[in-house]
């Protein structure tokens, strides 16, 4: 038992040793948030391209997970279906970036809705198996469904300006959060006395 405890302390010590990397990442994310507000048009185009790449990568990861997973709890069918749909949408948006720019709020809404159905299904499965965290997965899926319905119901209201504003605000908040967390790691690092 003593060896396990000492092993965990040693791994914690290593984990907080480079706290400053998280600070640098937080500063970089905050600067990107500021740039989003400084150049909203260019930021929207960049977000459209990034979104297309994200959907493509997400589809590829889901397909890889489905192909390599034999556990029935994970729901291979959802992974296969989601992966194939996301892969095809990602390829379409990358090949035709003008479609991505023009329809980002709609694609975002439908993609979030599709992801929410997967989370709701997975959360329900986890809850039926009494796995801890299943309720949170279900809750996040429901919140994501509500957000997707709002985007799809009012794509102009939650359209270009809203996408830029919310992504910019998210980057600013994420950057500040990372910086604050890095200082907590720094104090923890001092506690370990390295």
Q: What is the mean pLDDT of residues 4-13?
A: 57
Would you say 101 and 44 are in contact if contact means Cβ atoms under 8 Å apart? yes
**117: Cβ contacts below 8 Å, ≥ 6 apart:** 141, 145
pLDDT in tens, 69-128: 666 555 677 778 888 988 998 898 889 888 888 887 887 778 778 878 888 887 887 788
Q: How far apart are CA 116 and CA 151, in angstroms?
A: 13
**Cβ count within 10 A of residue 77:** 10
Q: Is the pTM of this model over 0.75?
A: no
Gyration radius (Cα) of the chain, Å:
20
Q: Locate 57 and state its tokens.
A: 């990568």
Q: Locate 111 and state its tokens.
A: 């993609």
Residue 39 has what DSSP assignment?
Answer: S
pLDDT band at 189, cuts 50/70/90? low
Residue 79 has what DSSP assignment?
Answer: H
pLDDT in tens, 75-89: 677 778 888 988 998
What average pLDDT does the chain have? 78
């Amino acid at each position: 038992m003593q060896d396990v405890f000492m092993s965990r302390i040693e791994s914690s010590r290593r984990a907080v040793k480079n706290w400053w990397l998280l600070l640098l990442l937080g500063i970089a994310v905050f600067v990107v948030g500021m740039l989003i507000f400084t150049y909203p048009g260019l930021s929207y185009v960049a977000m459209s391209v990034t979104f297309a790449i994200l959907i493509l990568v997400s589809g590829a990861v889901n397909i890889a997970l489905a192909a390599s997973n034999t556990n029935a709890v994970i729901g291979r069918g959802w992974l296969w279906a989601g992966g194939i749909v996301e892969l095809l949408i990602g390829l379409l948006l990358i090949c035709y970036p003008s479609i991505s720019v023009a329809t980002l709020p709609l694609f975002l809404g439908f993609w979030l809705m599709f992801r929410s159905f997967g989370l709701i299904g997975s959360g329900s499965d986890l809850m039926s198996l009494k796995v801890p965290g299943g309720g949170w997965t279900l809750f996040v899926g429901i919140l994501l469904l509500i957000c997707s319905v709002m985007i799809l119901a009012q794509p102009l209201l939650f359209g270009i300006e809203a996408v830029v504003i919310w992504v910019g605000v998210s980057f600013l908040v994420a950057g500040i959060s990372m910086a604050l967390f890095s200082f907590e790691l720094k104090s923890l690092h001092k506690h370990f006395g390295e």
